[in-house]
Structure 1
Amino acid sequence: MKITIDIDCTAQEARSFLGLPDVAPMQEALMEEIQQRMRKALQASEPETLLKTWLPASLQGWEELQKNFWNQMAAAATGGGGKGGKSGKSGE
């Protein structure tokens, strides 16, 4: 014998029937507090500071990589070369 019971009730009705606490007011208060903290943090932070905080250290080295790239390009354009060329043996 198999018996099936369908209960049609809201989540709030089910919680109160089972004796569970109503946590909706607490969730709303916590969400409001989180929103206020995020607004304060965003207003106090500058975009550059946020990017440095969010990006990992390996990506923060892009500025130096770009500088090195442009220095090498400038040296190649002027014919200086600097580090390029032969393997360091003299007289070849």
Structure 2
Amino acid sequence: MNIEQLTVLTNLAEGELSVNELTEYTGLAKRKLIKIVKYLEMRGYIEKRAFIGKDVIFSITDLGFSELYKHYIYMRKLIDDMEFTVCSKFDC
């Protein structure tokens, strides 16, 4: 899972969002976001909840939360390691 996919899952973990809202919150181009949403939906990490006009509302699934948590644990360790390495070099 890449950082953009994790960004979408993180945003949806806070609540249901439309494609337009996800585009705004993530800063991703709509075309790219739609590809990411399709990928996440195919894997069962997110699901469609409603339609408002032409916009689709998505929510994260339990499987999506599990995937997000798995990557959170890994990223938290990586950030700790990065902080140690960078701060030993730049005295922060």
Of structures 1 and 2, the one with the larger relative CO (CA 8 A, separation 6+) is 2
Q: TM-score, normalised by structure 1?
A: 0.30
Q: Which entry has the higher C-alpha Rg, 1 or 2?
A: 1
Q: TM-score, normalised by structure 2?
A: 0.30
